[in-house]
């Protein structure tokens, strides 16, 4: 029989024997100057006693920096959080870092393996993942921050799927006198679309209003156009709550093609505050989504990890803001 392999000493064992956290040991190997001398001495003794040697990349980080960060996204051919990435890149540059965008194939486990390979290559000092990963951050020689703002298919979840503004929209339209509503929903494979549909239906019922129905669309202008064109005469609908600005603009065009005034005969609300909607005639009422603040805050958290500093507190804010423009007004007098 061959001789059994000696178990590899881990960073957790070093931390346990030194009486510190594994994050502190990780900072030690990143040559963080913020460590107290006595803490550094305790870790020195344990490292010598156990003859602990991290991989070459982690060891080299005591003497060199790359000033590069990576942001990891699952491979996708049609969805990219462009505004978030732009803000994240600007925030990184402001702190002296370059930001690389890396597309990673596979499920959360496979992506985690690829992330660890990237972390071990020595090219970046930290990695930000916007989607879930099956990863132990302590297994990485560089900090890995997972925000979970998107799912495996780059569809918004968590804060990006917050539908509470739908309640505000319906209540505002009701305050203007609207009683009969139509919701043109997005594809129900998206948590954001499901949540907006649910909040719409709950608010209509709670306020004692009437919903002519919910049309399940696909986020396209055509779905908004077809939904409004398909309304029968006498439906009574005077308010349309659309899944996004594309759907809303299609709904506006559908109303105008029927000879309806917007907002004189029907009011329309979108979502996303696309620039084109601001300059349309009439300008589109919508929900402005501050995706930039998410990018800035995520990068700030990663940089704090890289520097061994406390994580910055997120600003108290909602990323969603209802914006009333020209497509909304009182319903026609009956």
Q: What angle do CA 268, 289, 131 make, to 5 degrees?
A: 125
pTM of the model: 0.70
CATH assignment of 68-154? 3.40.50.2300
Please state, in angstroms and rounded to a whole number, the distance separating the CA atoms of residues 76 and 248. 26
Q: What angle do CA 195, 197, 201 make, to 5 degrees?
A: 115
Considering the chain, tell me which residue range(s) the CATH 3.40.50.2300 domain(s) occupy.
68-154, 159-289
Under 8 Å between Cβ of 50 and 82: no
pLDDT at 136: 78
Domain 11-60 has CATH 1.10.357.10: no
pLDDT at 312: 82
Spacing of C-alpha 288 from chain mean position: 15
Please state, in angstroms and rounded to a whole number, the distance separating the CA atoms of residues 169 and 322. 7
Domain 159-289 has CATH 3.40.50.2300: yes
pLDDT at 78: 56
Cis preceding linkage at 263, omega within 30: yes
Considering the chain, tell me which residue range(s) the CATH 1.10.260.40 domain(s) occupy.
11-60
Chunked into runs of 10 residues, the chain (334 residues) has average pLDDT values of 55 86 75 72 84 56 70 71 86 89 81 85 87 78 81 64 91 98 94 93 97 96 98 96 97 97 97 93 94 86 88 77 97 80
- DSSP label of 179: -
Q: Is 33 helix (H, G, I), strand (E, B) or coil?
A: coil
**Run of H or E residues at 182:** strand 180-185
3-state helix, strand, coil in the chain (%, to 5): 40, 15, 45
C-alpha dihedral, 16 to 20 to 22 to 26, nearest 10°: -130
Please state, in angstroms and rounded to a whole number, the distance separating the CA atoms of residues 99 and 124. 9
- DSSP label of 251: H
Please state, in angstroms and rounded to a whole number, the distance separating the CA atoms of residues 261 and 250. 14
């Amino acid at each position: 029989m061959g001789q059994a392999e000696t178990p590899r000493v881990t960073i957790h064992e070093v931390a346990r024997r030194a009486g510190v956290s594994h994050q502190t040991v990780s900072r030690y190997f990143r040559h963080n100057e913020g460590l107290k001398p006595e803490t550094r001495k305790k870790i020195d003794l344990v490292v010598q006693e156990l003859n602990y040697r991290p991989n070459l990349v982690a060891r080299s980080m005591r003497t060199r920096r790359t000033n590069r960060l990576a942001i990891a996204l699952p491979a996708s051919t049609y969805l990219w959080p462009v505004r978030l990435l732009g803000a994240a890149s600007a925030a990184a540059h402001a702190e002296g870092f370059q930001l690389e965008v890396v597309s990673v194939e596979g499920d959360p486990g496979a992506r985690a393996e690829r992330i660890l390979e990237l972390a071990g290559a020595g090219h970046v000092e930290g990695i930000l993942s916007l989607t879930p990963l099956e990863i132990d951050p302590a297994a990485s020689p560089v900090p890995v921050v997972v925000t979970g703002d998107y799912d495996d298919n780059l569809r918004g979840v968590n804060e990006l799927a917050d539908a509470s503004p739908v309640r505000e929209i319906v209540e505002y339209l009701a305050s203007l006198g609207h009683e009969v509503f139509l919701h043109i929903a997005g594809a129900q494979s998206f948590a954001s679309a499901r949540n907006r549909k649910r909040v719409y239906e709950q608010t209509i019922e709670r306020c004692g209003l009437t919903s002519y129905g919910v049309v399940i669309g696909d986020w396209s202008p055509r779905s908004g156009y077809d939904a409004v064109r398909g309304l029968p005469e006498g439906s009574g609908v005077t308010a349309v709550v659309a899944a996004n600005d594309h759907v809303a603009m299609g709904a506006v065009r559908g109303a105008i093609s029927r000879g309806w005034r917007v907002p004189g005969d029907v009011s329309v609300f979108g979502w996303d505050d696309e620039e084109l909607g601001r300059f349309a005639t009439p300008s589109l009422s919508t929900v402005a989504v501050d995706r930039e603040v998410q990018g800035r805050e995520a990068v700030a958290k990663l940089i704090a990890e890289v520097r061994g500093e406390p994580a910055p507190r997120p600003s108290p804010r909602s990323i969603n803001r209802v914006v009333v423009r020209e497509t909304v007004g009182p319903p026609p007098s009956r």
